[in-house]
């Protein structure tokens, strides 16, 4: 296992950061009407920043990604275009907005496919530029990205009863608190399985297994406390555990195995 070049790390890091910025901007466009109606306290409905300004920022970010891709390798451009194309489909709700809104599970799953596409592009900054075949464990890594997207998405939309807002479709509202929490734990478990198999491919399975085991027990305790007394601070703990899970998981699949080998 060789450490990626400085150029690879730079392009991958900046590109993935800008992808998430673009996703956030796309959400502001997509949700503008609902935000203006039900969440007027947000920055765009309040007029603190306009959709036009956000559009300019998104365009500039795409120019930066394009320049970085061309600088590193033109072979990255088709993959970059695929990620952008899927983002456009997401922003248009795949041209079936009413149907998707009536089927929240399908809505969530369809939007989560952007996560493995982003990770595919990021890893391609290494193996595709080097003109090598994708690593054997890549499908499992992409799977962990998909399921971890569910962890973040569900975790940030589980709320205490007093924090539910009219017109805001949280999963605790749509599915009920118990089912939403169980879905969150299920996503954590699927992420853990995918990550452990991916780690096995790079001979780092035992540390990852211990890590996800400890984190999963922490998540179960957090979920138990929330269901026992669904207060605001306990709902926020679920979101915080989701963030901690994501950070430590990807450190254990990326930086830590390389440092261990070196």
pLDDT of the residue at 147: 96
User: Which residues have C-beta within 8 Å of that of residue 160, sequence separation ≥ 6?
Assistant: 230, 231, 232, 234, 235
pLDDT of the residue at 2: 64
Distance between CA atoms of residues 148 and 188, nearest Å:
7
Produce one character per residue of 166-205: b if its CB has 16 or more CB atoms within 10 Å, e if not.
eeeebbbbebebeebbebbbebbebbbebbbbbbeebebe
pLDDT of the residue at 196: 93
pLDDT of the residue at 136: 86
Distance between CA atoms of residues 260 and 262, nearest Å:
6
pLDDT of the residue at 90: 93
For the chain, 262 residues long, give each residue's pLDDT as a single digit of tens. 567 888 998 999 999 999 999 999 999 998 888 888 888 888 999 989 999 999 999 999 999 999 999 999 999 999 999 999 999 999 999 999 899 988 989 999 999 999 999 999 999 999 999 888 898 889 999 999 999 999 999 999 999 999 998 888 899 999 999 999 999 999 999 999 999 999 998 888 899 999 999 999 999 999 999 999 999 999 999 999 999 999 999 888 877 787 776 6
Instruction: Report yes or no: 29 and 54 within 8 Å, Cβ to Cβ.
Output: yes
Distance between CA atoms of residues 167 and 156, nearest Å:
16
> Which of 18, 36, 24 minimizes the C-alpha distance to 122?
18
| Domain parsing of the chain, residue ranges | 135-262
pLDDT of the residue at 262: 67
Distance between CA atoms of residues 8 and 208, nearest Å:
24
pLDDT of the residue at 230: 95
Give pTM, 2 decimals: 0.90
């Amino acid at each position: 296992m060789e450490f990626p070049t400085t150029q690879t790390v730079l392009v991958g890091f900046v590109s993935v950061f800008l992808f998430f910025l673009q996703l956030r901007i796309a959400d502001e466009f997509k949700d503008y009407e609902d935000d203006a109606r039900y969440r007027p306290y947000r920055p765009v409905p309040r007029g603190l920043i306009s959709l036009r300004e956000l559009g300019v920022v998104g365009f500039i970010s795409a120019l930066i990604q394009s320049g970085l891709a061309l600088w590193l390798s033109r072979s990255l451009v088709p993959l970059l275009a695929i990620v952008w194309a899927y983002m456009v489909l997401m922003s248009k709700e795949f041209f079936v907005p009413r149907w998707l809104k009536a089927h929240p599970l399908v809505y969530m799953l369809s939007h989560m496919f952007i996560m493995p596409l982003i990770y595919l592009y990021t890893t391609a900054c290494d193996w595709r530029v080097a003109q090598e075949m994708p690593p054997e464990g890549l499908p499992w890594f992409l799977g962990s990205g998909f399921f971890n997207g569910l962890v973040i998405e569900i975790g940030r939309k589980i709320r205490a009863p007093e924090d539910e807002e009219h017109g805001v479709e949280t999963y605790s509202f749509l599915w009920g608190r118990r089912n939403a929490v169980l879905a969150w734990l299920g996503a954590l478990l699927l992420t853990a399985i995918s990550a452990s198999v991916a780690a096995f491919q790079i001979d780092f399975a035992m540390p990852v297994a211990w890590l996800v085991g400890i984190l999963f027990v922490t998540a179960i305790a957090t979920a138990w406390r929330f269901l026992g007394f669904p207060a605001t601070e306990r709902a926020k703990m679920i979101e915080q555990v989701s963030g901690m899970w994501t950070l430590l998981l990807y450190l254990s699949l990326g930086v830590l195995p390389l440092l261990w080998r070196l």
